[in-house]
Amino acid sequence: MNTRKILLSILGGVVILLSLYLANSIIKSKTTPRPTPAKVVKTVFTDTVQNGTVPIVVPANGNLVAKKRVELFSEVQGIFRPGNKLYRPGQQYRSGETMIRIDAEEYRASVQSAKSNLYNLITSIMPDLRLDYPEISGKWQEYLNSFDMERPTPELPELTTEKEKYFISGRGILTNYYNVKNLEQRLGKYIIRAPFDGVLTEALVTEGTLIRAGQKLGEFINTGTFELEVAISKTFSDLLRVGEAVNLTNLDGSETYKGKVSRINARVEQGSQTITAFIEVNDPELREGMYLEALLDARNEENAIEIDRSLLLEDDKIFVVRDSILDYINVKPVYFTDKKVVLKDVPDGTTIISKPVVGAYAGMLVKVYEEKQEQQ
């Protein structure tokens, strides 16, 4: 019995050892094949360089301002009397048309009083003129006959001799005459007329308002011609010319207008190192304050190319394709915009990348898109 147990124990141990040996052999004999990494070849878009003339177009922007504009101020005081048109923003006036009429009855009475004094003074010297200076009394009599209290005071007769000058001046006629003319000039300031055809853009008073001397009354502009003030880098200051044509576009680029450079400031702004140019534009659809972008033709760059700015690498390099392998070359940027860059020193016939490649590096294997299309 004991012998049997011993034999079974030995047999069991042999089976276990054999099982372990077989399992270990199976594990060692089992090999998992390692996957071979696929060789990735990226397809790229390319262009062949052909140097030529690249026009340098300088973008600038600003808001339109009416070329003819007037800020209206009052030089006299009085009540704003209603006229034929309401004094409101958007109201149109023809040149010479009354815009504001200030009550001047009290002041007009003082002017009439001064004119009456002048008339009486000249009348009082007529007897002396007929006796002592009969040769000039006739023209002074004609002056009195033409004197109308309801019309502007006519100019005095020409003083031809020294005696006449002394006589007329000694009687205070010249002083009274110029005093009357001064009063009449001021009387004319109670009416403000449109200096040109235009539109009232700002009205700070209304009918019935008491207007004071020096008070601002509004703004008046001509809607026919506008100017766009733009700041240009001093680099192009010697390239801009008065009268040069300029293309203008609105904010969304849906409308294009034609303008020309009308003035160029001779001073350079110290902070920004820019100069100010004024572009004149005429179009009935334009309004003051509109935002426009101007494209100024500054100069032509010879033997150059223009590419997307995203293709220019650090240290002024760009990617090229040589025998299906990426490489880079040094270039010379001469002008930048927000999207483009103008380059020089790129040899003709060079195959360059025309669209950015993610993860690109020198030595990368690539396939040109055009070649792929031909094989298909």
Residue written as token pair 């880098």 = 233
Q: How far apart are CA 144 and CA 210, in angstroms?
A: 39
Q: What's the 3-state SS for 82-116?
A: CCCCCCCCCCEECCCCEEEEECCHHHHHHHHHHHH
pLDDT tens string 125-153: 888 888 888 888 888 899 888 888 889 99
Q: How far apart are CA 175 and CA 200, in angstroms?
A: 40
Q: How far apart are CA 350 and CA 327, in angstroms?
A: 11
Q: How far apart are CA 319 and CA 334, in angstroms?
A: 18
Contact 353, 311 (CB under 8 A): yes
Characterize the bridge pairing of strands 366-368 and 42-44: parallel
Lowest mean pLDDT among 13-27, 120-134, 242-256, 282-296: 13-27
Lowest mean pLDDT among 106-115, 213-222, 344-353: 344-353
Reply yes or no on whether the pLDDT at 71 is more than 90.
yes
The pLDDT of residue 128: 86
pLDDT tens string 285-300: 888 989 998 887 777 7
The average pLDDT across 10-28 equals 71
Contacts (Cβ under 8 Å, ≥6 apart) of 38: none
The pLDDT of residue 31: 54
Lowest mean pLDDT among 7-21, 68-82, 216-230: 7-21
Reply yes or no on whether the pLDDT at 30 is more than 60.
no
What DSSP state is assigned to residue 36? P
Reply yes or no on whether the pLDDT at 169 is more than 90.
no
The pLDDT of residue 374: 44
What Å distances lie between residue 9 and 4, 18, 19, 20, 95, CA to CA? 9, 14, 15, 17, 130
Q: How far apart are CA 167 and CA 171, in angstroms?
A: 6
The average pLDDT across 224-244 equals 81
Reply yes or no on whether the pLDDT at 219 is more than 90.
yes
